[in-house]
Amino acid sequence: MNTLRRTLLTSLALAVVSLSPLAAAEPPATKERLVIQVSDKDPQKWNLALNVAGNVQKELGAGNVEVALVAFGPGISMLTADAEVAGRVGEAITKGVAVEACANSMRAAKINKEDLAENVVVVPAGAVEIMKRQSAGWSYIRP
């Protein structure tokens, strides 16, 4: 094998290798992902948000979809342990829904970590969480 041929082969190999990151840029298309926003102090909206989470899991199969629910603003009170939907929030978490509370909104509403329903995760800023999930390819529903 002469030098030219070696160079050609190397270039080809590099060309093919350089395709990998591009291929990785394609959406994996394996799992649907949905972030649900709750920003109203309205139990009807809270129940609707939980219905959306449940219906999406039922329809697609809980194993085929990732669901996150992010509460901020006046919606933050949905996630306290004494909220009227606390039981349903707990069930959603058990069924694999990631439930997240905005720390900024908690401060504004004087809600502490201890006041939250069990297994609710505190995130620094709910809006940033929602934005980041969307730019990672998640769909967004705001009931």
Chain residues that interact with a second copy, rule: CB under 8 A: 1, 4-5, 8-9, 11-12, 15-16, 18-19, 21-23, 25-27, 32-34, 37, 39, 44, 48, 51-52, 55-56, 58-60, 72-74, 104, 124-125, 127-128, 130-132, 134-135, 137, 139-143
Of residues 17 and 82, the one with the C-beta less far from a second copy: 17
Q: To the nearest whole angstrom, how small is the minimum distance from the Cβ of residue 119 to a second copy?
A: 23
Please enumerate in sequence order all residues whose Cβ is within 8 A of that of 62, keeping only pairs 6 or more positions apart, or say none: 95, 96
- Considering beta carbons, is residue 4 or 82 the nearer one to a second copy? 4
User: Pick from 104, 89, 97: which is nearest to 67 by CA?
Assistant: 97
Minimum distance from CB of 101 to a second copy (Å)? 14
Nearer to a second copy among residue 113 and residue 142 (C-beta): 142
CA count, 13 A, side-chain hemisphere, 110: 0
Residue 24 CB, nearest approach to a second copy (Å): 9
Minimum CB–partner distance for residue 127 and a second copy (Å): 4
> What is the distance between the alpha carbons of residues 136 and 96, in angstroms, rounded to a whole number?
19
For residues 124 and 53, give the distance between their C-alpha atoms in angstroms, rounded to a whole number.
Answer: 23
Nearer of residues 55 and 119 to a second copy, judged by Cβ: 55
User: CA dist 12 to 1, 2, 5, 20, 55, Å?
Assistant: 15, 16, 11, 13, 49
| CA 112 – CA 54 distance, rounded (Å) | 27
